A and B are shown apart, each in its own frame.
Chain A
Amino acid sequence: MNSVKHFNVLIIGAGPAGVGAAVALTKRGIKSIAIIERSDKIGGIPSFYKKKKGGVRTFVRWSRGGIPVFGEDYAQWLEKQLIKTKVQIELQSQVLNIDAKKKILTLVSPEEGEVNYSADAIVMACGSREETPAERGWIAGSRPVRVFYTKQLLRLLDGNHLLPMNNPLIIGSDVIGYAAAAKLKAAGASEAVIVDNCSRPKCSFFERLYFRIWSNPDYQGLSAKSIEVTGIKTASGVNLNGKNIPCDGIVICGELIPNSELALNGDIKVELHSRKPVVAKDYQLSEPGWFAAGNILGGFHGAEWCYFNGQRVARAVANYLS
């Protein structure tokens, strides 16, 4: 517990941004790098979108002429890039807390228990998650089973080959919601209803056109202040504008919020409501030697954007170290 392993750079998160940073830092000749990942695989969110015959390709590789690919394919490509670098990879390792001033991470893993790692510079590439209904502020009602976040849906649908619902209702109309509707339809569910608190869907016209290959969900904009989830044991619908839209399962999609808790815990400056870390020039955080890359910066960016952003952050880290 007291021993501290030292590195030049530590990267928290082995998603597209973290891998992008690791690859670019290696190219710049930085020798001792470790990448810390709490799940058991490399690739972050794309790795949950599995390859399937006739399945929905949701990740666009703009750098390769805008070809849509499966998330899993992209995650495997990331893994290949990372393995080539000989960066130390720590899977199933959760960072418990940080000491921002001393640049020390306390992490726990099955192999080592609690250990401390320190570094000259640390990149937070922790990604983001979907907001809870309470965080969105306009979703209330009952608390039945089968109200999922997109990640949970993917874990069941793609990870376990289980179709959790036949008549889906999707809350959240950005591209994540339309992709979920398409994936559910491709898996055999009926056409989804998408609900959001705006009159027009947030997903762009061209993206919606693309997902028309698989599905044509019905969009219902919200004119009331709120919606209520209904159902005692299992989700049975939502009350929207005074009428009940029936379903046998709900997916809560989009509206990402940065995973900046470690920064907050370590007294690195974070905007309280948006949870965006406060970033000075060159992706530097409020404590020297700390950087942020990818979706932790806020907003919603595709996997490839995050990968290239990781590379840009790597350049800033290299400058800082020299």
Chain B
Amino acid sequence: MSVSGKLFYHWMDKDFDESLKFIDTEQLGDIPYDVTIIGAGVVGCALAYKLSMYKLRVLLLDKNYDVGEATSKGNSAIVHTGFDAAVGTLESELVTKASREWPQLAKKLKIPYEECGALLIAINNEQNTQLDKVYEKALKNGVTDVQQLSAEQVLELEPQITKNVLRGILIPRESIADPFSTSIAYAEIALSNGVDILFGIEVIGIENVDGKVKSLITNCGKKFDTRIIVNVAGLGSRKLADLYGGEPFDINPRRGQFLIFDKFSRSAIDHILLPIPTANTKGVLVIPTIFGNLIAGPTAEDFIIDDNTVSDTTVERLQELLDGASKLYPGLYEQSVITTFSGVRCNCSQGSYWIRCNDGHQGIITVSGIRSTGFTSSPALAEYLIGELHEKLGLNLNVNPVAIDSRSESSWPGWWKRPYSNNELVKESPEYGRVVCYCEQISLGEIIQHLDSPLKPRTLDAIKRRTRAQMGRCQGFDCMVNVAEIISNYCNIPLNKITKRGPGSEIISTNAEQYQ
């Protein structure tokens, strides 16, 4: 992929690659940006991707050291049809629209995607009475391919689930995809089409907020000039809106904990298993992942905005999840939980999909309250936002004739298309035959290939999300240090400076001294 955008990291360590270091705005050219997107989550990246189809100067900023490093990395990875969305809302409209685009999008972006279908299951009378309402709602949302199933039909599709099933609904197009590759693919294509990307940059102030060209003041001491500001900063969108005095709204981060089961569990379940929400509880989902695991979750726990335990897990809630999920699939008690995680939904008290154009000032758009459906809706939401930018913020759209909209064939992740199954490739590059991550069977060649990929990932977690090394059942027991050594050798960064998520998360305590 040829790259015409510029990519830099605000990573000041002397050992970090000079050519990737952001030092001054001169590196980006002197002309102000047409659009600056603040927040490189799945929505920010999707918007950068869609905007890169036009002749525009676009900047994508994030305070973290990879795309999708905050709310976008922890979710159920379901591509929803929108069958149960609140009828008539923007969320419902965008989700149903996007769900029809996804099969094509996944092919273009080279994102593993599987239409596994979902089964909504009633296991008690209260749920049974709800089932018809859900069916009606699906039809109202335009999801007309749903099918009502008898208990026998449900058990034929999923023989391993609870025998207490009374009735069910099959939603054939509910799908699963790789949540990590999605933001990455959007951003890689955007970069190649000329979008500039900066990591490690946090906006701390805005000057000339009423002017045609506004100035973003950042933590690196440099200012960035831009005509339009797009606030897609997720949990940070509230704080950012305060900098320009946008219309008041509140974010209540809502935590969702998940259990990840070992791959041996996957053969038992083919569909996403959905409980029917009742007055008392929303219930626990059992979801196959595209990677070949099963996950169970989520919880729904409300937090206040600055609580830094929001991404923690708790033993009590995890046990509740296991008990809840086992109501649908009792065999889960027999399976091993290899790890757990918490996702955080960016929940807006004033309503989901809180979008305000010219928020407080001309040329600023606030996009918040994009909850867990943001992963699904991202392509349609990005297009909707471009429409708003054009109509309400006066952004001129001229198609860029040389822009590309897809990644190359070689971008398929190695865990999806095993490189060492191609003996010619191993003969040519033996590193593809050297397995580094034993559990997920990931080769040295794949790790090096990703270090060289357009966004130049340099952290352990960024490599983990791209290759799956460290994501298996041993959770890095065998390969964490191997991966750190590979990054160190290949990028000339001393091993003690290798980080999990960027500066401040070094694997070696900075006070510790080398000893012999």
Segment at the A interface, from B52-60, B153-161, B332-340, B367-375: B332-340
Segment at the A interface, from B16-24, B116-124, B197-205, B312-320: B312-320
Min CB–CB distance B442 → chain A (angstroms)? 10
Cα distance, A145 to B478, chains bound together (Å): 16
Closest to B426 in A: A113
Cα distance, A1 to B424, chains bound together (Å): 11
B398 in contact (CB, < 8 A)? no
Closest to B422 in A: A113
Q: What are the residues of chain B within 8 A of A110 when measuring CB–CB? A: 426, 430-431, 433-434
B514 in contact (CB, < 8 A)? yes
Q: What are the residues of chain A within 8 A of B339 when measuring CB–CB? A: 132-134
Out of B314, B435, B499, B504, name the residue touching A108 (CB < 8 Å).
B435
B249 in contact (CB, < 8 A)? no
A281 in contact (CB, < 8 A)? no
A156 in contact (CB, < 8 A)? yes
Q: How many residues belonging to A are interface residues under a CB distance threshold of 8 Å? A: 58
Out of B435, B441, B478, B511, name the residue touching A248 (CB < 8 Å).
B511
Cα distance, A140 to B340, chains bound together (Å): 9
Contacting pair B507 A164 (CB below 8 A): yes
Out of A96, A111, A159, A188, name the residue touching B515 (CB < 8 Å).
A188
Contacting pair A234 B512 (CB below 8 A): no
Q: Contacts A134-B338, A188-B513, A261-B473 given: A228-B431 contact, CB under 8 Å?
A: no
Q: What are the residues of chain A within 8 A of B103 when measuring CB–CB? A: none
Out of A137, A149, A225, name the residue touching B476 (CB < 8 Å).
A149
Cα distance, A165 to B337, chains bound together (Å): 29
Closest to B445 in A: A110
B67 in contact (CB, < 8 A)? no
Contacting pair A233 B507 (CB below 8 A): no
A138 in contact (CB, < 8 A)? yes
Q: What are the residues of chain B within 8 A of A96 when measuring CB–CB? A: 441
Q: What are the residues of chain B within 8 A of A234 when measuring CB–CB? A: 504-506, 509
B495 in contact (CB, < 8 A)? yes
B308 in contact (CB, < 8 A)? yes
A190-224: which have CB < 8 Å to B?
Answer: none
Cα distance, A146 to B509, chains bound together (Å): 8
A121-157: which have CB < 8 Å to B?
Answer: 129-130, 132-135, 137-146, 148-149, 151-152, 155-156
B384 in contact (CB, < 8 A)? no
Cα distance, A129 to B262, chains bound together (Å): 15
Q: Contacts A110-B426, A130-B477, A152-B480 given: A163-B513 contact, CB under 8 Å?
A: yes
Q: What are the residues of chain B within 8 A of A139 when measuring CB–CB? A: 315
Cα distance, A160 to B338, chains bound together (Å): 28
B311 in contact (CB, < 8 A)? yes
Q: What are the residues of chain A within 8 A of B308 when measuring CB–CB? A: 232
Contacting pair B509 A166 (CB below 8 A): yes
Contacting pair A111 B336 (CB below 8 A): no
Contacting pair A165 B338 (CB below 8 A): no
Min CB–CB distance B114 → chain A (angstroms)? 21
B131 in contact (CB, < 8 A)? no
A11 in contact (CB, < 8 A)? no
Contacting pair A156 B337 (CB below 8 A): no
Chain B positions 429 through 464: 1 when the CB is less than 8 Å from some CB of chain A, otherwise 0: 011011100110101000000000000000010000
Contacting pair A144 B478 (CB below 8 A): no
Q: What are the residues of chain B within 8 A of A261 when measuring CB–CB? A: 439, 473
Contacting pair B314 A228 (CB below 8 A): yes
Out of B341, B441, B501, B513, name the residue touching A94 (CB < 8 Å).
B441
B408 in contact (CB, < 8 A)? no
Shortest 7 CB-CB distances between A and B: which pairs?
A226-B315, A113-B426, A110-B430, A145-B500, A94-B435, A155-B481, A113-B423
B interface residues (Cβ-Cβ under 8 A, vs A): 259-260, 264, 308-309, 311-316, 318, 334-341, 420-423, 426-427, 430-431, 433-435, 438-439, 441, 443, 460, 473-478, 480-481, 485, 495-496, 499-501, 504-509, 511-516
A interface residues (Cβ-Cβ under 8 A, vs B): 1, 38, 92, 94, 96, 108-114, 129-130, 132-135, 137-146, 148-149, 151-152, 155-156, 159-166, 187-189, 225-226, 228, 232-234, 248-249, 261, 264, 272-273, 275
23 A-B pairs, CB-CB below 8 angstroms? A38-B438, A94-B438, A108-B435, A110-B426, A110-B431, A113-B423, A132-B339, A132-B475, A143-B311, A145-B501, A152-B477, A152-B480, A156-B481, A159-B481, A165-B509, A188-B513, A189-B512, A226-B315, A226-B316, A228-B312, A228-B314, A232-B308, A272-B336
Since A114-B426, A272-B334 are in contact, a sample of 19 more A-B pairs with Cβ atoms closer than 8 Å, ordered by chain A residue number, is A38-B438, A108-B435, A113-B422, A113-B433, A129-B478, A132-B475, A134-B337, A134-B340, A135-B336, A137-B315, A139-B315, A140-B318, A141-B312, A142-B312, A146-B507, A151-B477, A161-B515, A188-B515, A264-B264
